Amino acid sequence: MGTLSAWDGGSPVRCRFLIPAQHETKIIRLSGPHNMKILVLNPGSSSQKSALFELGPDSGDDPVLPLWEGKLEWSGDKEDLHIRNRSGQEIRRQSKAGARRASVAAMLENLWSGSTAVLKSASEIGVVGHRIVHGGAKLMQPVRITPEVKRQIESVAAIAQLHNQAGLEGIELVEKLLPNAPQIAVFDTGFHRTLPPEAFVYPLPYTWYEQDGIRRYGFHGINHEYCAHRTAQLLKRDLSALKIITCHLGNGCSLAAIDGGKSIDTTMGFTPLEGLMMGTRSGSVDPGVLIHILRGDPTDPRRNPRDAALIENLDHTLNHQSGLLGVSGVSSDMRGVLDAMRAGNKRAQLAFDIFIHRLQAGIGAMAASLGGVGALVFTAGIGENSPEVRKAASSSLSFLGVQLDDGKNSAAKPDAEVSSPSSRVRLLVIRAQEDWAIAKECERLSGAGLI
């Protein structure tokens, strides 16, 4: 923990802040309460989202539309770019995939040049917030990025290699494009820092936890936390009195049990591979299956357990060729699976059934951890847009007091309630707002004089 000094025309004010203690005290001039333009970078394994917000002391707690947002998606050797600003100007372009960093830099330059520009210059950006998937055991709270913080993020990159390296590349890119802008890291693992030991310690040799940090971390925390607060707001209830299960269902899927605003259980674990069935990720499987594959046939050199290529292939299969895609053989996208189901594809039906079975089992487990449930939230791509998944998931949860209203569910647009009047559990569909939540963290730190 280090110290920052700041002043607003008067005497310096000392503030405690999460910076490594060995760094010198810095003096930062603040201009007092004002609106700030906040750039958010949200990297995925094969995508890069970015959004520019203008927030200040009077912004309130309701999500606001960004001034500008851009998204890059990579598929094979193709690169899709989509940019739009609040005035309605858009850019849509597909091209041959280039180097990720160069493509992201070119996308960001559209903030201050070209048809979608909303800034006169890059210097108008006051702070940059980054979604970092894994903070490890040391990085739990939003923190200003320093060389030491970057080293900590890199030290756990192997655990979430699909995302953390992309996050580091974004940080380094901003250092070059916006050298004077402070950068804040907000961690997907951070919300789950309140998990009790019985939820985060694996039934493995305890020395693995003590010496190697092998434990459940949990992910999607930025959105799980946002959805908990949004649920309390929509229901006009005190968050401290609510027991909530949030279902983040996108290409990556996880559940969280939230008691009084604190995460007490979640389905993802040491890596984002554990838990529910996902788009291309297997979710939880019997570890004996992996041992069986790795042990292989000792007479076959292709299956030699010392062969690093076999391990890499197994990792690739579990992360990229499993889940909905692996079972259905059709698509990693729930929409494609549903289309194939309607056409009579039996493997697509099986993929859907497995997805729902594991989702229901996970919801039941979260309810047991909470000792009851007051609200069940569906969020992210599938959760927000698939009434079929919401209906199927709710169908066997009447023992918890869950009753879905079919009409509300079919017509729901986030944010909306889809429970029937007789339901003891409130069912909500809430739009994921990770970018806005990251921007709010930046605004909060700024308002406290910490950046």
Residues designated catalytic: 188
Q: Cα angle at 106 between 102 and 112, to 5 degrees?
A: 145
Q: Token pair for residue 346?
A: 């039996």
b/e 168-178 (16+ beta carbons within 10 angstroms → b): bbbbebbeebb
Helix (H, G, I), strand (E, B) or coil at 186: strand
Angstrom distance (rounded) from CA 8 to CA 356: 55
Rounded CA-CA distance 184/143 in Å is 6
Tokens of 338: 């549903």
Sign of CA dihedral 174, 175, 181, 186: positive
Q: Which of 442, 450, 435 is nearest to 64 (CA)?
A: 435
Report DSSP state, residue 419.
Answer: B
Q: How far is CA 222 from CA 134, 136, 218, 368, 390, in A?
A: 11, 15, 11, 23, 22
Alpha-helical regions (H) of 249-402: 287-295, 308-320, 323-328, 334-342, 346-370, 380-385, 387-394
Beta sheet of 416-417, edge-to-edge order: 262-266, 253-259, 243-249, 375-379, 426-429, 416-417
Q: Which residue from 40, 125, 17 is spatially nearest to 439, judged by alpha carbons?
A: 40
Phi, psi of 134 (to 5 degrees): -125, 120
Whether residue 233 contacts residue 430, with contact meaning beta carbons closer than 8 Å, is answered with: no
Task: List the structure tokens of 22.
Answer: 């060995």
Cα distances from 126 to residues 106, 158, 318, in angstroms, run 20, 31, 40
